[in-house]
């Protein structure tokens, strides 16, 4: 028996026996000569929901109180993109190759039709997948994210740098400043979020490298300055969510996404920031499940 939990797993169609995100084993799959780390839980057989994570995130950075209740009803797949955490290679400096990698991993796992949940940078990746490989995507969930050419994303290095400085001075995680308001409610939400991320104690992912962090910032900046996508080409039903005071990606960008994607709906959570979906997880999770189970496209007559 191989003692390394990061074993290669061939795609199977079976029921998952894992019920908690904190205990979900890490596997790897080879895609074009690059090893990608991933975790999977929930019942198999339906359309999988693939999570695409945020700037600096590795597998351990998904909130278990978002993943676990969704995985009670849905087949959930999460993975480290190229150069992130336990995956090989180097992080690209633009979003398009990140999306190509995401699509390649999905297909390597044996799927040609999935739902995508993209948070922050992952939301940009999800949009790119939907535009470049529309046949792969059934439904989209875009949270804490903006659109290509949104402009404000160019301020990200300054915003992130300020948060890291504050974190060093206070011995807090930078996400306390980036994801949550700095009022009593936001501070409490941030503290509880960080505690939930610490529930996993074994088989933890490798931390993000300096190269990966710099490359992701470059990709975000390029997306902010780039030629805007024609989001009217995204025909998939889309659920857009954010807090009302997102300091990383202006909440107005979420509103712009919902306005430009024809078949979309928007939810803005009050008194919250970039991590609004974690602060309001008791509202967000049921909304996600209802959205994925809906029979008719949002906005259909």
The structure tokens 């290509």 sit at 148
Buried b (16+ CB within 10 A) or exposed e, 198-220: eebeebebeebeeebbebbbebb
Backbone CA torsion sign across 199, 205, 210, 214: negative
State the angle between helix axes of 184-197 and 64-71 in degrees (0 to 180), rounded to the nearest 10. 60
Of the candidates 141, 140, 179, 185, the residue with the CA atom closest to the CA atom of residue 163: 179
Question: And the tokens for 109?
Answer: 């796992």
**H/E segment holding residue 178:** helix 175-178
Q: What is the pLDDT of residues 159-170, one digit of tens each?
A: 778 887 888 888
pTM of the model: 0.90
Say what the pLDDT of residue 224 is.
Answer: 83
Of the candidates 205, 34, 46, 44, the residue with the CA atom closest to the CA atom of residue 105: 34
Say what the pLDDT of residue 152 is.
Answer: 61
Say what the pLDDT of residue 221 is.
Answer: 86
Contact assessment for residue 77 and residue 116, using Cβ atoms and an 8 Å cutoff = no
What is the topology classification, in CATH, of domain 7-293? Rossmann fold (3.40.50)
Q: What is the pLDDT of residues 248-267, one digit of tens each?
A: 888 998 999 999 999 999 99
Q: Where are the domains of the chain?
A: 7-293
User: Beta strand 49-52 with 27-31: parallel, antiparallel or unpaired?
Assistant: unpaired
Which regions of the chain are under pLDDT 50?
1-17, 297-301
Q: C-alpha angle 186/175/120, rounded to 5°?
A: 100
CA of 50: how far to CAs of 228, 250, 288, in Å? 25, 24, 13
Contact assessment for residue 243 and residue 269, using Cβ atoms and an 8 Å cutoff = yes
């Amino acid at each position: 028996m191989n003692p390394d939990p990061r074993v290669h797993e061939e795609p199977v169609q079976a029921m998952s026996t894992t019920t908690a995100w904190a205990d979900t084993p890490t596997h790897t799959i080879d895609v074009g000569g690059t090893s990608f780390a991933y975790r999977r839980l929930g019942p198999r057989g339906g359309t999988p929901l693939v999570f695409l994570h945020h700037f600096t995130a590795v597998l351990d950075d998904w909130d278990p109180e978002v993943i676990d209740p969704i995985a009670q009803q849905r087949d959930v797949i999460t993975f480290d993109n190229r150069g992130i955490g336990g995956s090989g290679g180097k992080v690209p400096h633009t979003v398009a190759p990140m999306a190509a990698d995401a699509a390649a991993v999905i297909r390597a796992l044996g799927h040609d039709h999935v739902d995508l949940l993209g948070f922050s940078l992952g939301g940009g990746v999800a949009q790119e997948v939907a535009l470049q490989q529309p046949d792969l995507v059934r439904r989209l969930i875009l949270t804490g994210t903006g659109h290509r050419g949104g402009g404000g994303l160019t301020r990200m290095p300054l915003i992130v740098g300020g948060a890291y400085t504050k974190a060093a001075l206070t011995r807090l995680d930078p996400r306390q400043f980036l994801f949550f308001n700095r009022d009593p409610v936001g501070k409490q939400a941030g503290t509880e979020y960080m505690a939930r991320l610490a529930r996993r104690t074994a088989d933890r992912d490798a931390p993000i490298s300096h190269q990966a962090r710099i490359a992701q910032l470059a990709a975000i900046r390029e997306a902010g300055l780039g030629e805007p996508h024609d989001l009217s080409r995204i025909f998939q039903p889309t659920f857009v969510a954010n807090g009302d005071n997102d300091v990383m990606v202006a909440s107005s960008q979420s509103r712009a996404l919902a306005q430009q994607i024809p078949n979309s709906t928007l939810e803005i959570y009050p008194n919250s920031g970039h991590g609004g979906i974690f602060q309001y997880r008791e509202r967000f999770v049921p909304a996600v499940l209802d959205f994925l189970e809906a029979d008719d496209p949002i906005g259909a007559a």
